[in-house]
Amino acid sequence: TKPVTNWADDVINSDITTCMTNDTLDDGCIECKLNQGVRIEISACPPSSLNTLTVRFYCDDSMQLGENAMVPYTDADSVSDVNKIVIDIQAVGQWYEFVTTEAFRNQLADLGGKFAVRLISNDVIETKNKFGEAEYDAIYTTYKYEGITKDKDGTVLGSCHVALFENLGGTPPTYQFKDSQISDGVTGAYSFTGQGNFNAFVRFQKDGSPNVFDTTDNVVVGVEE
């Protein structure tokens, strides 16, 4: 497991007044108001690798105190309040800390190596509390999927195109492409690092006369890094 902490000032700059553009996340998001989102980027940490995640916000100003909730982004444009984290905000000029649950973290979408959370009023739609800074603390675990490409006789076959797919489940299962690489030309070794913990299959292919290709079973699991 790897801890990562960003308890630092000016993670979000209160001089800029937008986090959302046409209801979508803005890559330049540097301020959070209620009903707007904050992207969090942790190197080599897909959301599925998170063991813990705590996010805290500094309340600069208030027009509506009371219960507020943090919710996860489930894709680039959508949030869910099914597993919202609710706290009671009763004063300005202090930090408010949201400690996520496993169910909350499981809903976080992988947004190109980032994930996002959003603050909402728990009861009042147009709350205008202003949060000038946001910080986070997390512990995460990443996994690697590795092996050796071989031919049907078990002889090492190097320089194969290798692709990793996540098994999303279902009947029949659906799959999501995760990464690709070329196995070592001499040893045939391949290794997909920095991955989440999921069932997967690996496909390899090499051009030739004839072409050579094969796949693993679709329940391959990673090894903790």
pTM: 0.65
**Residues in the chain where the model's pLDDT stays below 70:** 1-2, 4-38, 41-44, 61-64, 112-113, 121-133
The domain spans of the chain are: 2-140, 144-224
For residues 48, 195, 110, 14, the Cα torsion angle rounded to the nearest 10 degrees is 90
pLDDT reported for residue 29: 37
Reading the block at residue 33, the tokens are 């108001």
Q: Is there a shared CATH topology between the 2-140 domain and the 144-224 domain?
A: no
Dihedrals φ, ψ of 159, to 5°? 60, 40
Looking at residue 186, its pLDDT comes to 97
pLDDT at 158 (0 to 100): 96
pLDDT of residue 129: 57
Q: What is the CATH number of domain 144-224?
A: 2.60.40
Q: Whole-angstrom Cα distance, residue 35 to residue 28?
A: 17
Q: Measure the CA–CA gap between 109 and 71, rounded to whole angstroms.
A: 12
Provide the pLDDT for residue 197. 82
CATH topology of domain 2-140: Jelly Rolls (2.60.120)
Q: Are 206 and 161 in contact (CB under 8 A)?
A: yes
d(CA 201, CA 218): 4
